[in-house]
Amino acid sequence: MRRLLLASSSPYRRELLSRLHVAFDCAAPDIDETAHPGEQPEQLVRRLALEKARALAGHYPEHLIIGSDQVAVSEHGIVGKPYTFERAKLQLQHSSGKSISFLTGLALLDSRTGHAEIDCIRFTVHFRSLSEQQIERYLKAEQPYDCAGSFKAEGLGISLFKATEGTDATSLIGLPLIRLVEMLNQAGVEVP
């Protein structure tokens, strides 16, 4: 069986991939993740997912390399990681009663041939109307400062939602497993 490499240092993506019960290695790609002028969010995540995989191909010439990148998009544009309590609070106040779409770019690169499959999976979160106290309690409990949108859907963040919309909830966490399994099966890696 071909060796798999997850081109990421994200513990969230590593945990998701481990759910498939396939052996894999991890390595962090070193790329510039800055958007190009005029680049749309879907173009950005597709490009970055592929660049992450390609950045490691020279060091892993016999691997199938999985690259993934995600952006959150609101009516105001791209929503980044807040990194602080104050920014997270502001993000959640802006999201209250509204929706955010998460675009996750996914690439599977065959480092032997250079062939790549690339896709973008959209998942939308519809927020409940949130009070300042609810937002503050949530942030103190979960501290999601390294998460775009200021919540962890795999944890208590689910309590902030009114509804979700999409074909693959794992894309919300950063690695769309349904689409990845399709790609892996097409590449000859049978899961399960």
Catalytic residue among 25, 30, 69, 110: 69
CB 47 within 8 A of CB 70: no
Distance of CA 156 to the CA centre of its chain: 18
Distance of CA 15 to the CA centre of its chain: 12
Catalytic annotation on 110? no
Tokens of 88: 């997270």
Full 3-state SS string of 18-35: HCCCCCCEEECCCCCCCC
> Token match 């955010």: residue?
100
Hey, which residues are catalytic here? 69
